Amino acid sequence: MPIYEYKCSDCGHELEALQKMSDDPLTHCPACEKEGLVKQMSAAGFHLKGTGWYATDFKNKKAPEPACGHGGCAAASACAAASS
């Protein structure tokens, strides 16, 4: 079942809801008790399955590398190997 993200246009409250494709979109905001919920286009479930691990991988590998691009890196060969 896909997860849908909703955001209240009235108070800005955000929530995620597990819904069937056939379910009607939610409109009732539990925070302000108004009918202000709007379904967000970016479904969290698909997002996590699709690109989530890429983002995590990128973060884990991310090293301070600005020096490499400016000729000031003491381990230039290692940097070149890592960035190729």
**What is the spatial distance between Cα 70 and Cα 82, in angstroms, rounded to a whole number?**
16
Determine the interface stretch with Zn ion among 1-9, 38-46, 55-63, 73-81 (rule: CB under 5 A): 1-9
Tell me the three state secondary structure of residue 71. Answer: coil
Nearest to Zn ion of 13, 79 (CB atom): 13
Residue 26 as a binder of Zn ion (CB under 5 A): the answer is: no
Q: How far is the CB of 61 from Zn ion (least distance, A)?
A: 39
Phi-psi region of 49 (alpha: psi -120 to 50; beta: other; left: phi over 0): alpha
Residue 8 as a binder of Zn ion (CB under 5 A): the answer is: yes
